[in-house]
Each structure stands twice: as structure tokens, then as C-alpha cells.
Homo-oligomer: A and B are copies of this chain.
Amino acid sequence: MLPQDLMEPRLGLATKTRAPGSPAALPTETSENALNALAALVADDFAACNRVIVEHMQSDVALIPQLAAHLVAAGGKRLRPILTLASARLCGYAGGTRHINLAACVEFIHTATLLHDDVVDESQKRRGLASANAVFGNQASVLVGDFLFSRAFQLMTADGSLKVLKILSDAAATIAEGEVLQLVTQNDLSTDEDRYLEVIQGKTAALFTAACQVGAVVADRPLAEEQALAEFGTAIGMAFQLVDDALDYAADEAALGKTVGDDFREGKITLPVLVAYHAGGPDDRAFWQRTIEESEHTDADLKRALRLMAETGAIGATLRRAESFAARAKAALGVFPDSPTRRRLAEVADYTVRRGR
């Protein structure tokens, strides 16, 4: 359940006791527990996957493991590989290590895109630490990203399933298209909601889709289960990115490990911005045009942006969209019989919405 103020976006968040810019989501104890519980369920596989990740990021060229280790040390949640492992478990896959290698492969694709994203966004922070590009430079980040991407394809090739290769290479192309589309829509307030959803479907949800789908593929399950897991992954990915975009205007900076207002400064078109822009009066629209389209902004502007988000219920509206995707994710699990894995996966769908840090 979302807190009441997030369910009622038009009430005006600024009139609540929370100051604009303070965390908009629930206390996250339960949320973190949901992911931890899923990770615990696949603990052995997860440990094995982490070993595969460390092993395959090695190279005689010392800078490669150094830079990769910087990201690993920054401690991502490894949500995507955990989803691959849990999906395989849900489908009854047993006796092999294919899911472990493919989970590592999914994480490598994710890490490669993070490295390139941070270069593209000129990010200074990632997961609360200095970003790889800030420490090692853009050049190394681009090239090590390419290396990890290649490693992912080596792992897939070693797996040997053309079906898996197709799912993951299609996902990789879709991710890149989504990233380019995001670049094209940047600073453009004429971008509509459908276009925004297309961007996040590509840049984020596509990998979640593939991560879950390959779990069913390695278990050689009927198409209905494969499609259900693909749908589950897509919906979780959409929810995840919607929440990410909300948190960029509402997170507790220290807890989230990312800087509030990054999207604002970069002129990224996200749902909170679109909601606030379209709900605003002429003055507010002029404000958004100046800040998002013309990239002119002062520190005071971020405060005003946060206030307008609150007044228009933009964060709440975004989180409600996320919640509806989470509900869709849970519904997709309906083709599977009840089991601890299915219950944990459903909880993780809620987690994607509730993670407030």
C-alpha cells in the first residue's frame, strides 16, 4: 500500500508536514526485506552468480577489473540477476548452472549500460559513490562498458541456446534504442506520455523482461509460462523506472545514493515533469520551458520545481502509475501455482514501488 498522500496526488503534497523534496515513499524496511527474502530464497545460486561475475570481469588489462570492481564495490542490489535466478526457480529449473551464467550475463549488460549512461549524463555519483567516469574518466568507462557488453555475449554464446541469444541480443538493441530515444526527447516538453513510456520500456523494462524470460527458457517451460514471466519482468521494469523518476524529485539523497534533481538539471522528460507541466498555469509552464527546454536554472529553481511537483501531485501520479504496473506484474504470476518463490516475486513487485531509498 502506498501512503495516503501518494494515493491522492491532487491534495497538494506541500501542505503536508513533509517539506518538498523529502522522501515521498514509505519507510522501506518491508521493501528491503522483500528483495532480501527473494535473494535468500536463491542464496546459493546468487552466491554462485556473484562468483561468475567476479571471475568474468577479470582481464590481463588491470584497469578492467579495477573499474568493474569499483562498480561492484558500490554495491548494486543485483535485482535483475536475482530475478533471473528466481524465475528459473519458479519454473522448476534444477540440476544445471545455466541460470547462474545467464544471470551474470544480465548483470553485465546492465553494468555496461550504467557505465555508458553515466558518461552520457555526465553523472558524478552512482549508488552513493563517485561514478566510474568521475574516478576513471569517460574514456575508460566507455571502453570497459564495451568490454562487459562483449563478456555478456561470450557468456550467452557459452550457454549455447540460440533462443536465449535472441532474447538477450534483441533486448540489448531495444535498450540502446530506448537510450537514444531518451536523448532525442531530452529538453522537449512536447514529448507525450506514450513517448515517455516508450523510452522507459526500452531503456529499463526490456532488460527486466529478458532477465525473467530466460529463467523460463532454461527450464524449457511452455510458452505461456515464458510469456507470463516476460510480462512480469516488463511490468516490474516499468514500475521500477517510474519510481526512479519520482525519486529523482523526492528522494532522500543520502539514502538513495543519487543526487536529487539530476533529471531536472539534465532536462530529462519524465512523468513527474509531464504531469506538473500539463497541470500548471501559464507562469508554471513558462517556468518549465525555461528550466527543462532551455536548461536555464538556478538552485532556487529546483526548489520551485519540487514545490510545483507537490502542488500538482506529480509524484503521487507517477507512483500510482508504478503501482498499476506492479499490480500487473503480480497478475502475470497467476499462471504459476502458489509457492514461496511466487510469493517472494510478488513481494518484489511491491518492493519496486515502495523502495524509497
Contact = CB atoms under 8 A, between A and B. Distances in A.
Interface stretch (A17-25, A172-180, A215-223, A327-335): A172-180
Nearest to A179: B143
Nearest to A59: B177
Interface residues of A, number: 43
Interface in A146-184: 146-147, 149-151, 153-154, 156-158, 160, 162, 165-166, 169-170, 172-173, 175-177, 179-181, 183-184
B184 A146 contact: no
A147 B177 contact: yes
A298 interface: no
Contacts of A116: 142-143, 146
Question: Which of A113, A153, A170 lies at the interface centre, i.e. has the most chain B CB atoms within 10 A of its CB?
Answer: A153
Contact of A166 (B59, B112, B139, B157): B157
Contact of A172 (B150, B173, B180): B150
A334 to B, nearest CB: 31
9 closest Cβ pairs, A-B complex: A147-B176, A150-B173, A150-B172, A153-B169, A146-B176, A120-B139, A157-B165, A143-B179, A154-B169
Interface of A: 59-64, 112-113, 116, 119-120, 138-140, 142-144, 146-147, 149-151, 153-154, 156-158, 160, 162, 165-166, 169-170, 172-173, 175-177, 179-181, 183-184
Contact of A61 (B144, B157, B180): B180
Nearest to A154: B169
Given A120-B143, A166-B157, A179-B143, A184 B61 contact: yes
Contact of A144 (B151, B156, B180): B180
B140 A183 contact: yes
A63 B184 contact: yes
Contacts of A144: 176, 180
A151 B174 CA distance: 10
22 contacts: A59-B180, A61-B181, A64-B177, A64-B180, A119-B138, A120-B143, A140-B180, A146-B172, A146-B179, A147-B176, A147-B177, A150-B169, A150-B173, A150-B175, A153-B153, A154-B166, A154-B173, A157-B162, A157-B166, A157-B169, A160-B162, A165-B165
A187 to B, nearest CB: 12
Contact of A139 (B150, B175, B183): B183
A181 B119 CA distance: 19
A166 B116 CA distance: 24
A158 B170 CA distance: 11
A154 B179 contact: no
A60 B166 CA distance: 20
A160 B63 CA distance: 34
Contacts of A120: 138-139, 142-143
A140 B179 CA distance: 9
A153 B153 CA distance: 8
A211 B296 CA distance: 49
Nearest to A152: B169
A210 to B, nearest CB: 12
Contacts of A63: 180, 183-184
Nearest to A148: B176
